[in-house]
Amino acid sequence: MNINRNLLSTLCLLSLLAACDATDHKREPSVTTTRDTWGIPSIQGQGKVDVYEEFGYVMAVDRLWQFETNRRFSQGKLSEIYGPRLVPADMQTLLMGYSDEEYQMIFDTFSPDSKKLIGAYVQGVNRRIEEVLADATLLPLEFQVLHRSCRHCTQPTLISRVI
How many domains would you assign to the chain?
Answer: 1
Q: Which of 76, 98, 95, 94 is nearest to 86 (CA)?
A: 76
Please provide the average confidence, as pLDDT, over all residues in the chain.
Answer: 84
- pLDDT digit string, tens, across residues 98-109: 988 999 999 999
CATH number of the CATH domain containing 58: 1.10.439.10
Percentage of the chain beyond pLDDT 70 is 82
Distance CA 79, CA 116 (A): 34
In a domain, 38, yes or no: no
pTM over the 0.85 mark: no
In a domain, 55, yes or no: yes
In a domain, 27, yes or no: no
DSSP string, 6-53: HHHHHHHHHHHHHH------S--TT-EEEE-TT--EEEE-S-HHHHHH
In a domain, 73, yes or no: yes
Which residues constitute the domain of residue 93?
A: 2-19+51-160
Distance CA 148, CA 68 (A): 10
In a domain, 45, yes or no: no
In a domain, 28, yes or no: no
In a domain, 70, yes or no: yes
